[in-house]
Structure 1
């Protein structure tokens, strides 16, 4: 595992070199408030490309910054974070039953055996109102019966991204524009810098165990539940799991670097995903409104999450990431 100390964090000349590329920069929105910066890539799934702090030694990254290929390939998976609409994580075999009919999402992305992360992350977003420290992004989905696996419900998704009070705030909202009810879930998919000393703190009640396809099998105890409460090492387990009934607050800490990032969420972000694969530099702690495969999952609503939006109904909630450095 690569161990990055505070003194060895790459400078802006290397890890953010894409900011100096005029072609890439033309499609970016940079927000600033004091020393904090947030860079948005609306054309790449409405993703967040970087969230960092200006320091005398260069940028101090609170999220893993995008790599140059992310812009060329238009791949949100290589960004700092990206929005999940109208559901989070996987749907088994890309299909589910809803309102007496089968919703077949087969073919919506041939890279994956199961439908993944909805569809908003695969499309460009429109830039709306903007100030120096805030921007509104919008995506509207119009179903196309000629596109295999297209989401069959019309909806509008929005993100208001703002740097305020020393923190990053993202308000996510959606409205069902269909004439019929629509199953729904949303979330954000942040990647954090991962070192040998990284710790994740969260109060959770249980973990969804998963099969080889990373699809949930049952909700129950796991050593990670207690470890998270005490401050779990990112290397402690091989995780790609949902955790139920968290306190809607998690802390990602780098004790050797004397800093931490607190993520808080409003209801209905009542579920949390931890992606911390073994022998891998990736680390995600994701606030979501539904478990993986929630449209197929058997269980009570508070266990699986998600909801059904009636025609015209809207939903909105805010996520906040607050950095803290020891003086």
Structure 2
């Protein structure tokens, strides 16, 4: 059952036909139930049923929607695909786990079989399920997801936990507070993050103060931490076309800026600890660009002897963790 507790002036909507605010979609579009947050001219469209994802974050202007994140397409709604939303939450780990298995608590955690599209477990399980809607105002909404292991489902995450997002507009800035609690009676390995996609143009630049990069193999799994020309490029404003990247970066300052200098605007993302790791996904000859704040590197659960370098943590029974991400736009 979905728990819907909404301000009447901000109802969940399913028929987008008359919503001119969502004009980037076809005027005949039908989407899952959405929540639209407003603050002045800024809008955030949330798709609870599509993995608790953000569908869009934009400013409404006389010329149309000015998007700060890549907006979801109609196909993303049709297929309920979080991977094609504007951003989606990552619980209870970020990125890949090699061969979908790792050792923990004296046994093997086998996550294989839950998604045959991927050879390695990917992004946890919260993005694969609908989220419940909690308290909602004109400018904020709370989303909740609770996972109980299903022994009959191959590759199901074998630990019980609760996750929450509080998504809020403050002025033009977007705040996403993420939290989780171990609801089980045994320790649980854990990590979290968000997976934002940004508009990518020929003039886009990414700024981030990072120290080293995790080099990766053909399966995009980390092999070693070391120098790379992208480290220096990010400090001075890296073009997404400069390298073919799908890599973790270490020791970032928890601040990154995506700039569109030809459009005279930029978006700065800041993160609380323990979002101490940064992923940059900028594939060659592709329109995608992600700059992702995460608490753990790829395959961290299989690198138990490198905890300080790979992040992640273990939540004891009943233990909670919380941290906030903020995106602040600027024009001019």
How many residues end up aligned between the 2 structures?
313
- Provide the residue aligned with 2:24 in structure 1: 15
Where does residue 6 of structure 2 map in the other structure? none
Structure 1 window deviating more from structure 2 (258-267 vs 164-173): it is 164-173
TM-score (norm 2): 0.92
In the alignment, which of 30, 40, 49 is matched to residue 46 of structure 2?
40
The answer to whether the 8 A contact 1:16-1:65 is kept is no
1:212 has 2:212 as partner: no
For 1:321 and 1:143, the matched residues in 2 are separated by 33
Report the alpha carbon displacement of residue 38 of structure 1 after superposing the two structures with TM.
0.2
SS at match of 1:200: strand
Partner of 1:319: helix, strand, or coil? strand
TM-aligned CA deviation for residue 166 of structure 1: 2.3
Which of residues 93, 100, 110 is equivalent to 1:104? 110
Alpha-carbon distance in structure 2 between the residues aligned to 1:252 and 1:121: 24
Partner of 1:156 in structure 2?
162
Deviation at 1:16, TM superposition (A): 2.8
CA positional deviation for 1:154: 0.2
1:71-220 to structure 2, matched below 5 A, reads 71-220=77-226
Once the two structures are superposed, residues 22-69 of structure 1 have per-residue CA deviations (whole angstroms, 9 ceiling, x without a partner) of: x42x60000000011000000000000000001110000000000111
Gaps of at least 5 residues in structure 1 are 1-10
1:65 matched to 2:74: no
1:323 aligns with 2:332: no
Query: For 2:25 and 2:261, how far apart are their aligned partners in 1?
Result: 25
In the other structure, the counterpart of 1:301 is 307
| Residue segments in structure 2 that go unaligned for 5+ positions in a row | 1-19
* CA distance 1:108–1:257, shift in 2 (3 Å): same
CA deviation after TM superposition for structure 1 residue 172, in Å: 0.3
Structure 1 runs of 4+ with >6 Å offset? none
Aligned equivalents of 1:296, 1:48: Cα separation in 2: 30
Q: Matches of 2:211 and 2:187 in 1, distance apart?
A: 31
Partner Cα distance (2:25, 2:169) in 1: 19
